[in-house]
Amino acid sequence: MYRTLLLGAALFLGLSAFAGAPLKLDASYKIAVPAKADSKLLYAAEDLQEHLLAITGKKPEVVRQDKPSGKCVILKHDRSMDAEAWKLQTQGENLIITGGYPRGVQYGVCEFLERFGNCRWFTPTVSRIPKADFIVVPEKLDLSGQPWFLQRNTSYLFTFDMAPLREWRRFFVHSRQGNVPWCFTHGSLKTDIYGSANRIGAPNLTHTFYDYQKDWKDVKPEFYAMDENGKRYPRMANNRSGAQFCLTNPELRDRIFAQLLKFIREDRKKAEAQGLPYPKYYSLVANDNPRFCHCPACQKLNEAPENSSESYADFLNDLARRLNKVYPDLYLAGLAYENTKYPPKSVMEKNVVMGMAFLDSEFLRDENADAIRPVQHVSNKEAFKCVQGWAAKTPGGISLYGYGQHFCMQFRLPCDVTHKIDQDLKFSKKLGGRLLTMEMYDRDSSFYWLRRYVLNKLAVDPDLKLQDLVNEFMEGYYGPAAEPMKAYYRLLADATEKEPKQLGVTPVTLLKYLSPEFFSKADELLGKAEKLAGKNERVRNAVQDERLPLDGVRIHHYDQIKAAVSRDVLLKRYLAEKERLGEDEGLYKMKNIHHTFITYGGIDCEKVILATPLPEEFKGRNALVWFAVSQRNGQVKDPEAAGGVALKLGKDPYHNYFRTKLHDSRARKDIPREYRITKFPADEKYHWHYVSKAELNPDIIYWCEYFQNDLRWANLPPPANEMEVYVSLKFTGPVFVPGSQKPNGIFLDRILAVPPKK
């Protein structure tokens, strides 16, 4: 009796749709490519060959034949098809896989292996390749398709040591990622065999204003935004610094359009040289800062200084009309983000597409969005209004620029993001969006690889059912531990959905779902999963990954959450898990990933935070602490400082007092006054000094002699944003302590914000 491999209910289309005797595809089939096949076709043939070997145990032959003979799987390009489109057809005993250039054939191979071979690729190193003597293919087969999202830009973290890179590359191909990661171009690593059909033209996808002007030889001050005081910001030095353009300036618009035409001509020249299709979308997106123009012309269009949507819409529409006269097949891509998120009165031109990005609440500029909840969730009521408003004004389509993680926490919050991915991608399709971007770097967060799997599958077909994908992944990735891991996923998903408060910006001690019952049940389920994993180290590690966000919350707020596990046990387990994950994934080699993995000068900031106890007066009060170890510049080693690092403020000669205060940079006033230290501790050690009490907002900074610090890290949503601010300082030398033999110096190692005592 033959062992066969057949999908009873195919992922997209049941086999009942086909009639006739099926083909039995095994190693007796040859894989045929044209005699002059290029590297893309040969790579697709090799990929199919390796999978058929893994499935059947026998290796089919790859032949170069323009007119194949015998039983064959025929691979061929059709340049009249879209770059990523594919067709699966049977002709007699042959299976023909046709695809657009450059990726269509490879995606046709992936479709065949998924649909009829039941293959799945869960991570770069974990896949499901079932064993069988042959693969059953319907006799009369005629299927075609392509990914719904034309640009699928999903963020991964890479180091060159990530093992093994070949598997990472193949994972990207099998997942049908829409862009080639930068690490694939490193050194001798070649990308041509994978094929790159980038839909976005130069310079890149987002925050492109800087790139448009970076090579200009001459610029005028009036090209750039004016501040509230009538002064022009300096020329942009990168896509974050400086400010935006003055969007109403006629000469600037002419220069931008000329640069756009130059980008298009250069892109087409490169595409023709490589035989690739032309890019279809060109991005005109503001730099990543809120400094838009306050000049009279811009403000005449805009309803308020904080809302620059109308001047941005007018700018895009003007350039879109010009572009349509020269290249009527191209689109301009804009982004509604920060100052442009509220919809304009103007209707956008048909060749304008818009992305919608909501991250303001993460950085507490306003409270209109819950970044990791679906845009239609009740906590996103204001953000949803913005989407609806833009959609009504944008016939070209709206895409949701997504975030699958928190950016502003010192640790990961245990929460489910799969429902956000599922609902937002489905909604984006409904709005006609074809460009997908999702930022998700947080490898140390809940169900990271599950979220990746769901995102990759829905990016190709947003109509797939979330629960089917979850079950498929759980069984393939967790194996013997699948059932308790499914139960933990349901526990987490239900808890996340029912939480009434915003996630990520609400203090964790105010989140109702983080209850003793939740943690107890989570520990129970993960404990069962670890036992079922047995000696399978990969599965056991995968289960233990889920403890990181659970333990992170409890260890950072141990006094408030009152965990059932002792602090010593939690801390030891948490740091060990973090260390293992960092070593496994190469994360410690990366820079600027997240507080939990950032190191400065070899110092693990989070470990310093956890190992440095607060004075008794601050314990149990949701204190937030900034450490000098997280400062990029000006550090000095000091064994007496928290973490062994401090900031040495200023240079001798000093005066015999020290000024410190909170300052509102927008209102340009101190809060409530400047505090002057005139009596200095005689022991020349670190002491906490009270600064002030204030309702913190994104514009309030800590200021002292020779140093200032942006207090965004301490901002919480009202009414929890009233804070007392303290600073830990050390004063040495005879200027401050008469008779001292030490050099004069002022050192700062910590700033603390804590709610007032009730």
How far apart CA 464 and CA 472 sit, in angstroms, is: 12
How far apart CA 571 and CA 551 sit, in angstroms, is: 8
Residues paired with residue 127 on neighbouring β-strands, in sequence order: 121
Residue among 684, 696, 699, 698 at smallest CA distance from 730: 684
Cα 622–Cα 729–Cα 621 angle in degrees, nearest 5: 10
The per-residue pLDDT for 585 is 56
Specify the DSSP class assigned to residue 70. S
Residue among 655, 749, 667 at smallest CA distance from 707: 749
Which mean pLDDT values do the consecutive 10-residue runs of the chain (758 residues) have?
36 40 92 94 95 96 93 96 95 96 94 97 94 94 95 66 65 80 45 68 91 94 94 90 91 98 96 89 92 94 86 98 98 94 96 91 66 91 94 96 78 92 97 91 88 96 98 98 98 95 80 94 97 97 95 84 86 87 54 41 70 82 80 84 91 92 87 88 96 88 91 75 94 96 96 89
Specify the DSSP class assigned to residue 394. -
Q: Quick check: 410 and 606 in contact, CB under 8 A?
A: yes
The residues near 445 (Cβ < 8 Å, ≥ 6 apart) are: 405, 412, 413, 548, 549
Dig out the tokens for 318 from the structure: 């003007």
Centre a 10 Å sphere on the Cβ of residue 710 and count the other Cβ atoms it contains.
14
The per-residue pLDDT for 196 is 63
The per-residue pLDDT for 120 is 98
How far apart CA 465 and CA 522 sit, in angstroms, is: 25
How far apart CA 47 and CA 29 sit, in angstroms, is: 15
Q: Coil, strand or helix: which one is 139?
A: coil
The per-residue pLDDT for 575 is 87
Residue among 531, 526, 374 at smallest CA distance from 446: 526
Q: How far is CA 654 from CA 377, 680, 685, in A?
A: 55, 13, 18
Q: Coil, strand or helix: which one is 93?
A: coil
How far apart CA 746 and CA 744 sit, in angstroms, is: 7
Q: Quick check: 37 and 64 in contact, CB under 8 A?
A: yes
How far apart CA 231 and CA 246 sit, in angstroms, is: 12
How far apart CA 297 and CA 254 sit, in angstroms, is: 17
Q: Quick check: 398 and 390 in contact, CB under 8 A?
A: yes
Q: Quick check: 726 and 689 in contact, CB under 8 A?
A: yes
The per-residue pLDDT for 587 is 47
The per-residue pLDDT for 403 is 87
How far apart CA 216 and CA 232 sit, in angstroms, is: 18
Query: Which pLDDT tens digit goes with each residue over 310-328?
Result: 999 999 999 999 999 999 9
How far apart CA 96 and CA 141 sit, in angstroms, is: 10
The per-residue pLDDT for 238 is 87
Specify the DSSP class assigned to residue 423. H
**683-696 CB burial, b ≥16 within 10 A, e <16:** ebebeebebbbbeb
Specify the DSSP class assigned to residue 60. P
Indicate the pTM of the whole model. Answer: 0.87
The per-residue pLDDT for 132 is 96
**6 alpha-carbon distance from chain centroid:** 36
HEC sequence for 466-484 = HHHHHHHHHHHHHHHHHHH
The per-residue pLDDT for 71 is 94
Q: What are phi and psi of 750, to 5 degrees?
A: -150, 150
Q: Quick check: 189 and 170 in contact, CB under 8 A?
A: no
How far apart CA 172 and CA 480 sit, in angstroms, is: 26
Q: How far is CA 420 from CA 10, 364, 412, in A?
A: 26, 21, 17
The per-residue pLDDT for 189 is 43
Q: What are phi and psi of 252, to 5 degrees?
A: -60, -45
Residues paired with residue 659 on neighbouring β-strands, in sequence order: 676
How far apart CA 539 and CA 525 sit, in angstroms, is: 14
Helix axes 482-498, 418-430, angle to 10 degrees: 70
Q: For the chain, what percentages of helix, strand and coil (3-state, to nearest 5) are there? A: 35, 20, 45
**707 alpha-carbon distance from chain centroid:** 32
658-664 and 120-121 as β-strands: parallel, antiparallel, unpaired?
unpaired
Residue with tokens 């034949």: 65
User: Considering all CA atoms of the chain, what is the largest pairwise distance in Å, rounded to the nearest integer?
Assistant: 101
Task: Mark out the alpha helices in 499-645 (DSSP H runs).
Answer: 516-533, 537-545, 547-556, 558-561, 567-585, 605-611
Q: How far is CA 590 from CA 156, 157, 583, in A?
A: 12, 8, 11
Residue type, 179: N
